[in-house]
Structure 1
Amino acid sequence: MKPSLISVLLVVCISVFSCQTKNDKVIQLKPKEFNQFLKSNPQLIDVRTPKEFNLEHIVNAQNKNYFAEDFSTLIEELDKEQPVFIYCRSGKRSGKSITKFLNAGFTNIYELEGGILNWKDKGFKTNKK
């Protein structure tokens, strides 16, 4: 029997000890751990503005603008049964968006610590236009 993605994620987080938990449904990951999870092609959501997203973003990310009036509707389009990985520029918007993801019914939320700035600072690549 193949382990589920959620089981693998939890085991890795527990073994790494570098994960920080905001609550039992949200795990904050350092760039290295966040990158490991991206290999399974999860729901990756960039909550920055379309202008920021179009300049550069993490490969395979979808843009759902936190400042959009219909942000809550936009995230309703996502699969709540699957883990969601979110990031922004520095971690402020993604941190604020967590409440909206929780209110929408998401139960497995992973946030990139320090946003795309920390991601790039640690040497990870982005899609640049």
Structure 2
Amino acid sequence: MKFYYLLLVLCVMNLGCAQSKGKPITEFSQNDIDSGILVDVRTPEEYAGGHLDNAVNMNLFDVDFVKNMDAIAKNRAVYVYCKKGGRSAKAAHILDSLGFKKVIDLEGGYDAFIANKRN
């Protein structure tokens, strides 16, 4: 069964529409999520090492990723980020293909956010 979920996720990633928008994570503020949700798609270990305030951890590599996203209303804005930007871009495409109306990929990831905070 896990194999089929993984296969579904891979198919969705390949067939996903390019409707998501990107925004540099350095321009993100907590005010952006007033009507949305902030999703960290990194592993639980990475999340435990530090994350943005109010972020919900939904590991992209979890076989239940798509199922877990069903808990979020499709008309809500969804901001996704990861460590550097690769996984969040994949997650954004998956969410687009699942019918989410507003998906924002926070480009640069958590590493860029931390680097900007130091400056």
TM-score (norm 2): 0.77
Name which of 49, 71, 79 aligns with 1:85: 79
Q: CA deviation at 1:37?
A: 4.2
* Secondary structure of 1:112 counterpart: strand
Q: CA deviation at 1:80?
A: 0.8
Name which of 107, 117, 120 aligns with 2:114: 120
CA distance in 1, matches of 2:38, 2:110: 13
Are 1:109 and 2:103 an aligned pair?
yes
Name segments (4+ residues, structure 1) moved above 4 Å.
none
Are 1:28 and 2:31 an aligned pair?
no
**Paired letter, 1:77:** A
Structure 2: gaps (5+ residues): 1-16
Partner in structure 2 of residue 38 of structure 1: 32
Q: CA deviation at 1:31?
A: 2.6
Q: Cα deviations across residues 53-81 of structure 1 (Å, max 9, x unaligned)? A: 11111000001000001111011111111
**Paired letter, 1:46:** D
Are 1:76 and 2:53 an aligned pair?
no
TM-score (norm 1): 0.71
Structure 1: gaps (5+ residues): 1-21, 125-129
Partner in structure 2 of residue 52 of structure 1: 46
CA contact (8 A) 2:44 2:59 kept: yes
Higher relative contact order (CA 8 A, sep 6+): 2
Count of residue pairs brought into register by the alignment:
102
**Paired letter, 1:29:** K
State, as a whole percentage, how many aligned pairs show the same letter.
31
* Secondary structure of 1:56 counterpart: coil
- Answer 1 or 2: which has greater helix percent: 2
